[in-house]
Amino acid sequence: MQRILRIVLLLLYFSAAAFAQKPDWVKEYGKSISYPEQLYLTGFGMHKVTGGIDRATSLRKATESARGNLIQSVRVSLQSTSGMIVEERNQRISSYFSSATQATSSMEIQGLELKTFYDDDEEMSYALAYVSRAHLASLYKEKESKLRKSIRQSLDAGKTDEEQGLKTKALDEYLACYPLFRQLEEAQAILLAVRTGTVKAIAELEGDMAKDEVDESAIREAVRRLVQRPMVSAEDLAWYLAYCLKEQLNLKEATLLVTPFTYRDTKMGSPFSRFFKQVLESRVAEVARWTPVQQDLKSRSLEIVGDTIRSPQADYILRGTYWERENGIKFISTFQRVSDGKMIGSAEAVIDTSILEKTPLSLKPQNFAAALSDQKQFGKDEALPSGLSLEVWTNKGTDDLVFSKGERMQAYVRVNMPCYIRFIYHLADGKRALLVDNHYIDQSKVNRVYPIPEEFECDEPFGAEFLQAFARTEEFEPVHTQEVEGYKILQEDLERFLASQRGMKKVKRDTLQAETRLVMTTVGE
């Protein structure tokens, strides 16, 4: 009897030990033989229990991080794919990435599943988000089909109402198409990210786009026909966008952050961006009776949802992009709810190029060609997110950043584990300054907002600039610099520097590294 009891106890012991054993995706920080990269999209998150965070909260934050990590992987894939090959083959495809890569916080990927694990010894929660590429492709093909059907139904209903003289109802139906187009763009972008093989994937997307029964130009023409407001200035354009959003959303009151529109999918602003932001704020207040606010994010208790920073100043964000086309300049605006990051409205317009030439403000930053070259270099061999989470933002947020001469920029960072950080600032004149090097963030600062000690004042040279941040669980190797006017300037060219950062031999098998960038544009007075 005692022998049987000992056997039972041993079996229970080994069963418990097997049950408590770490899964391979925990040991390998999101990598698992059960979810190979060719067949699955995955995201990994981890969060430690600390004094102010209990186990349940830690687990929730780990799962949020895993979802965000997976979505960030999709963004990196999209940004890489929508580079030179897309631009050369089909400019229309490039615009399809605007919503997916610009308003990334609105991106939600359906069909995600989760696995979790809690390590009692480490007091650490782990989460793995995963989805089969085949399953995701099936979901989004179905969504794509439903969105096309909805667009067609709204267009047909609008035509019927217009023929019957019901102009207000017709306008509502036409305007309802714009958010559907943004969702369609995002669905097709996700399909592109899911497919393997860039050239084949782009060819498939071109085939999908050929199936579109309704062109956006038909919607734009119908809306302009009903609004009957000529656009002969930037002020008229701002009025038109504000009016379309007001009619579409029917919001009685709203506190609204208007951000500078950026050029194409580059996230770069311009002198025109700053000017148009001011004009659009004025028209939003006049036409929609919404209250524009200015946002200065200096709180140490900020919460980031996707790329949207929750802040008490604004309930909504109005942002957009503009694209040079043969028939004029196309403006795409999106209206985003801050509380959950969802895109709830959109409007667009095409204005003759000669009208904006009257301003006369450049649509691109002064150093556009050089900055675009750098941006393409950044996208080459960019590492996908690992278990180390790195968030960086400024006192103006993370996107659509335009700083005027004399304005100050403060950067903040947050990580999910002790690590070293390195900040490189790529200036408009081509110099690359080492701002922070091997600064250690210890356990007491993990998952907390940490302000970078120095503030920076906007001054010449003006143009598109990049704040590049690296985090690593081991110290960084030294880089060759030379002191110029109080700054340590890198002596390597960008290609060699990136290769040394991304291709460095790991000191230990479990060394983790993360990278992120902010694009900002500096302009004169």
- The span from the CA of 368 to the CA of 359, in Å, is 19
The gap from C-alpha 375 to its chain's centroid, in whole angstroms, comes to: 15
pLDDT of res. 68 = 84
> How large is the greatest C-alpha to C-alpha distance in the chain, in angstroms?
97
- The span from the CA of 229 to the CA of 221, in Å, is 12
Residue for token pair 């009957």: 228
The candidate with the shortest Cα–Cα distance to 116, out of 99, 129, 97, is 129
pLDDT of res. 467 = 94
- What are the backbone dihedrals phi and psi of residue 357, each rounded to the nearest 5 degrees, phi first? -65, -15
Q: Going from the first residue of the chain to its last (525 residues), give the mean pLDDT of each consecutive group of 10, the final group possibly shorter.
A: 52 45 88 90 86 85 88 74 49 52 60 92 91 91 92 95 95 94 85 66 60 76 92 95 95 92 92 96 96 69 48 84 90 91 92 88 93 86 74 88 91 90 93 91 85 84 93 91 88 82 58 89 89
- The span from the CA of 62 to the CA of 362, in Å, is 44
pLDDT of res. 6 = 57
CA dist 189 → 93, 101, 195, 482 (Å): 9, 9, 10, 42
Question: Is 432:472 a contact under the CB 8 Å cutoff?
Answer: no
3-class SS at 342? coil
pLDDT of res. 212 = 58
Helix or strand holding residue 198 (H, E): helix 198-210
Bridge partner list, 340: none
Bridge partner list, 45: 127
Amino acid in position 448: R
Instruction: Name the class of domain 368-523.
Output: mainly beta
CA dist 385 → 236, 304, 389, 492 (Å): 43, 17, 8, 25
pLDDT of res. 345 = 94
Q: Where are the domains of the chain?
A: 1-211, 229-364, 368-523
In this structure, CATH architecture of domain 229-364: 3-Layer(aba) Sandwich (3.40)
In tens, the pLDDT along 461-519 reads: 899 999 999 999 999 999 999 998 888 999 888 888 887 777 655 445 578 888 899 99
pLDDT of res. 111 = 87
Q: H helices within 82-176, ranges in order?
A: 84-89, 91-95, 98-102, 133-163, 167-175
Residue 511 tokens, joined? 């060394």
What lies within 8 Å, CB to CB, of 411 at 6+ separation is 392, 393, 394, 423, 451, 452, 456, 467
pLDDT of res. 509 = 56
The candidate with the shortest Cα–Cα distance to 27, out of 513, 419, 474, 510, is 510
DSSP state of 490: E
Are 229-364 and 368-523 in the same CATH fold?
no
pTM of the model: 0.85
Question: Is 371:251 a contact under the CB 8 Å cutoff?
Answer: no
